[in-house]
């Protein structure tokens, strides 16, 4: 049974990683001491070990505790483009310096794989009806996306310079249980339950924004597939939904599984760093043999049902 270190384990993506691997691996969760999201790990009590550590600091004093870690799933950091506009330095410290310190630990370990969770936004806006592939050039439009690209390049450099076995996984927009309440899927469920209109953002040309929405648990399933199937020492993968859709269509899908009729406010957005069209293709995963176990409609039904039974999460920070 391999020991896995998961950074950001109490985060939205992180807790799905714990759920995916806890039954067949020894899981160590790395969290900041002031983490507000420990509740996401309640169901794993007694089955995981939690270590408090600020990812912006070196791991020298933790080496003896982590010296037998064989896989690192690095999901820790700051995932907010909006936060990066308000405090770029903090986000860069989390996502770049935090990754550097973890890579310094990684090259001292008997590591089978270092998985770095990057972002689809690193490729920037692209022409409508096109997709970014894993090795396309970076084109960051926010300090957040630049920081994720910077962390990714450090991973590639450590793979080449020190032989650290790396998988860089670009993630696009996700939904699912225990999400932050300020994300579109949760906002949509909350407003649909209250019969309130939902803001749909368009750009100055009138184009309705959208993404390749998919369930956050599928990031974990993609991760397992990549761990089992990657053949080279350093490789990049896209983790996203199989189909791009506008945010309006996505909300309509949520409304459909809820059996309600949505109402919309169309809003023109001009916020720096916000782009209507991002799309990364997951074709490589499917070409290598990955297959979806359920449809997006089934995932949405699971998600909606869970929020109805756990309504406190509709407004939880």
Going by C-alpha positions, the residue among 67, 113, 63, 80 that lies closest to residue 8 is: 80
228: tokens are 């089992």
Q: How confident is the model at residue 267 (pLDDT cuts 50, 70, 90)?
A: confident
In a domain? residue 284:
no
What's the pLDDT at 272? 62
Query: What is the rounded distance in angstroms from the CA atom of residue 106 to the CA atom of residue 112?
Result: 10
Whether 1 shows a pLDDT value over 80: the answer reads no
Q: Do 145 and 258 lie in a common domain?
A: no
Q: Do 113 and 234 lie in a common domain?
A: yes
Kindly give the residue spans of alpha helices, DSSP state H, lying in the chain.
Answer: 12-21, 63-66, 81-86, 88-92, 98-106, 143-162, 184-193, 217-229, 247-258, 283-287, 296-309
- Report pLDDT digits (tens) over 156-215: 999 999 999 999 999 999 999 999 999 999 999 999 999 999 999 888 788 898 999 999
Whether 135 shows a pLDDT value over 70: the answer reads yes
Q: Do 58 and 150 lie in a common domain?
A: yes
Query: What is the rounded distance in angstroms from the CA atom of residue 70 to the CA atom of residue 76?
Result: 18
Domain count, the chain: 2
What's the pLDDT at 314? 96
Query: What is the rounded distance in angstroms from the CA atom of residue 312 to the CA atom of residue 196?
Result: 18
Residue 204 CA, distance from chain mean position: 28
Residues of the domain holding 227: 3-173+213-239
Q: Do 146 and 268 lie in a common domain?
A: no
Q: How confident is the model at residue 274 (pLDDT cuts 50, 70, 90)?
A: low
Task: Enter the pTM of the model.
Answer: 0.96
In a domain? residue 257:
yes
Q: Do 119 and 195 lie in a common domain?
A: no
Query: What is the rounded distance in angstroms from the CA atom of residue 195 to the CA atom of residue 255?
Result: 11
Q: Do 268 and 225 lie in a common domain?
A: no
What's the pLDDT at 185? 97
**Those residues with Cβ within 8 angstroms of residue 169's Cβ, 6 or more apart along the chain or in another chain:** 115, 116, 117, 118, 219, 222, 223, 226, 236, 237, 238, 239
Q: Do 117 and 194 lie in a common domain?
A: no
Query: What is the rounded distance in angstroms from the CA atom of residue 145 to the CA atom of residue 154?
Result: 14
In a domain? residue 288:
no
Q: Do 119 and 192 lie in a common domain?
A: no
- Report pLDDT digits (tens) over 75-106: 999 888 888 888 999 999 999 999 999 999 99
Mean pLDDT score of the chain? 94
- C-alpha dist (Å) from residue 270 to 79, 82, 202: 21, 13, 9
CATH number at 262 reads 3.90.25.10
Q: Do 90 and 28 lie in a common domain?
A: yes
- Report pLDDT digits (tens) over 198-240: 999 888 788 898 999 999 999 999 999 999 999 999 999 999 9
Q: Which residues pair with 266 in a beta bridge?
A: 200
Q: Report DSSP state, residue 136.
A: S
Q: Report the pLDDT averaged over residues 118-127.
A: 94
CATH number at 29 reads 3.40.50.720
Going by C-alpha positions, the residue among 306, 88, 104 that lies closest to residue 216 is: 306
In a domain? residue 283:
no
Q: Do 145 and 207 lie in a common domain?
A: no
Q: Do 137 and 54 lie in a common domain?
A: yes
In a domain? residue 110:
yes
């Amino acid at each position: 049974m391999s020991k896995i270190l998961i950074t950001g384990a109490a985060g939205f993506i992180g807790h799905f990683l714990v759920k995916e691997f806890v039954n067949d691996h020894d899981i160590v969760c790395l969290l900041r001491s002031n983490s507000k999201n420990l509740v996401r790990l309640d169901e794993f009590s007694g089955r995981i070990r939690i270590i408090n550590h600020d990812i912006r600091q070196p791991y020298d004093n933790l080496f003896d505790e982590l010296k037998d870690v064989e896989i690192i799933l690095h999901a820790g950091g700051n995932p907010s483009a909006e936060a990066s506009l308000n405090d770029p330095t903090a986000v860069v410290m989390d996502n770049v310096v935090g990754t550097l310190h973890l890579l310094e630990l990684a090259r001292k370990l008997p590591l089978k794989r270092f998985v770095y969770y990057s972002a689809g936004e690193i490729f920037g806006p692209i022409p409508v009806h096109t997709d970014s592939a894993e090795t396309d050039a970076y084109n960051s439009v926010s300090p957040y996306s630049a920081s994720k690209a910077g962390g990714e390049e450090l991973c590639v450099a450590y793979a080449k310079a020190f032989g650290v076995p790396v998988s860089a996984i670009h993630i696009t927009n996700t939904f699912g249980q225990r999400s932050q309440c300020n994300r579109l899927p949760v906002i949509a469920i909350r407003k649909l339950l209250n019969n309130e209109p939902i803001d749909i953002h368009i750009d100055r040309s009138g184009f309705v924004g959208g993404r390749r929405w998919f369930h956050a648990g599928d990031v974990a399933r993609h991760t397992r597939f990549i761990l089992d199937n990657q053949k080279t020492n350093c490789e990049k993968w896209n983790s996203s939904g199989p189909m791009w859709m506008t945010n309006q269509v996505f909300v309509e899908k949520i409304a459909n599984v809820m059996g309600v009729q949505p109402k919309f406010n169309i809003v023109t957005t001009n916020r720096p760093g916000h782009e209507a069209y991002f799309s990364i293709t997951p074709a490589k995963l499917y070409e290598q043999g990955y297959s979806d176990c359920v449809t997006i409609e089934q995932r949405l039904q699971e998600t909606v049902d869970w929020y109805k039974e756990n309504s406190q999460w509709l407004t939880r920070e």
